[in-house]
């Protein structure tokens, strides 16, 4: 079995996000970037599956600028076998990314695609589902546990009422939740070895796909600053303020 793991390069979760001065987007110049945490979990799960003898090859793919090679090398250092960068300077939306991934899945003849359930920069949570629709494959999202049962995938997922287990026949799409695993620490020796692993670069325009945006961003603004809190003497004063000032009751 061949596993394809799409990964995304995002602003590090510990970095304070700043809006560009012209309000056209988020400032990324000289900002620390890293692999999306949910994607890192997806890579780790694929490695576990291969180490258990259920897969022969792990291919990681990223869509974006040439700078995306850094996270691909990180995934190779974790244990992936090959990497593919779909190079484009355009800020692609989920449907465009799903179209590109469909082309790569068909080119590589993958049996299983494991994605992070969402990226921490836009929180869209759409690419996995759109890819499943385009491929007409079954999907099991928000996986907190993955097991193999013959030619089927048993995926346990957390829902509001508790736990739910889905059984999907391969080939399939699954997206990872936070509690699925704990990504491994990458050793320096593995980072050095990753430099020798194959990393192919494909221009997005060469795929011949319609990846034009469906949505237009008009303006990006920071959220309004929260008002400072006040201390009230008793419950009656609190009720008065909620009624007369906040107008919530």
Report the first-to-last Cα separation within the chain, whole angstroms.
59
- The pLDDT score that the predictor gives to residue 149 is 87
* 75, part of any domain: yes
- Residue 114, domain extent: 2-223
CATH, residue 99: 3.40.50.620
- The pLDDT score that the predictor gives to residue 91 is 86
DSSP 133-184: HHHT--EEEEEEEEEEETTEEEEEEEETTEEEEEEEESSEEEEE-GGG--PP
68's CB contacts (< 8 A; 6+ apart) are 9, 62, 85, 87
- Please tell me whether the peptide bond between 171 and the residue prior to it is cis, using omega within 30 degrees of 0: yes
Which residues does residue 11 pair with via DSSP β-bridges, in sequence order? 33
Region for residue 147 given its phi and psi (left: phi exceeds 0; alpha: psi -120 to 50; beta: otherwise): beta
* 7, part of any domain: yes
pLDDT band at 227 (very low <50, low <70, confident <90, very high): confident
Summarize the confidence of residues 186-215 as an average pLDDT. Answer: 91
Q: What is the reported pTM?
A: 0.85
């Amino acid at each position: 079995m061949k596993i394809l793991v799409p990964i995304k390069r995002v602003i590090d979760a510990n970095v304070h996000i700043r809006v560009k001065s012209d309000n056209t987007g988020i400032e990324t110049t000289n900002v620390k970037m890293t692999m999306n945490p949910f994607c890192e979990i997806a890579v780790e799960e694929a490695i576990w599956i291969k180490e258990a003898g259920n897969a022969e090859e792990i291919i990681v793919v990223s869509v974006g600028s040439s700078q995306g090679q850094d996270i691909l090398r990180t995934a190779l250092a974790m244990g992936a076998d090959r990497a593919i960068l779909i190079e484009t300077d355009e800020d692609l939306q989920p449907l465009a990314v799903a179209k590109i991934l469909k082309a790569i899945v068909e080119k590589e003849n993958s049996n299983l695609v494991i994605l992070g359930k969402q990226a921490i920069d836009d929180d869209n949570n759409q690419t996995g589902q759109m890819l499943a629709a385009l491929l007409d494959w079954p999907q099991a999202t928000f996986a907190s546990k993955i097991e193999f049962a013959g030619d089927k995938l048993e995926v346990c997922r957390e829902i509001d009422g508790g736990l739910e287990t889905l059984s999907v026949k391969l080939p399939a799409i699954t997206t990872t939740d936070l509690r699925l695993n704990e990504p491994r620490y990458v050793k320096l020796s593995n980072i050095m070895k990753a430099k020798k692993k194959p990393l192919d670069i494909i221009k997005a325009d060469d795929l011949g796909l319609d990846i034009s945006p469906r949505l237009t961003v008009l303006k990006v603004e920071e959220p309004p600053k929260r008002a400072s809190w006040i201390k009230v003497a008793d419950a009656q004063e609190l009720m008065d303020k909620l009624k007369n000032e906040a107008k919530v009751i």
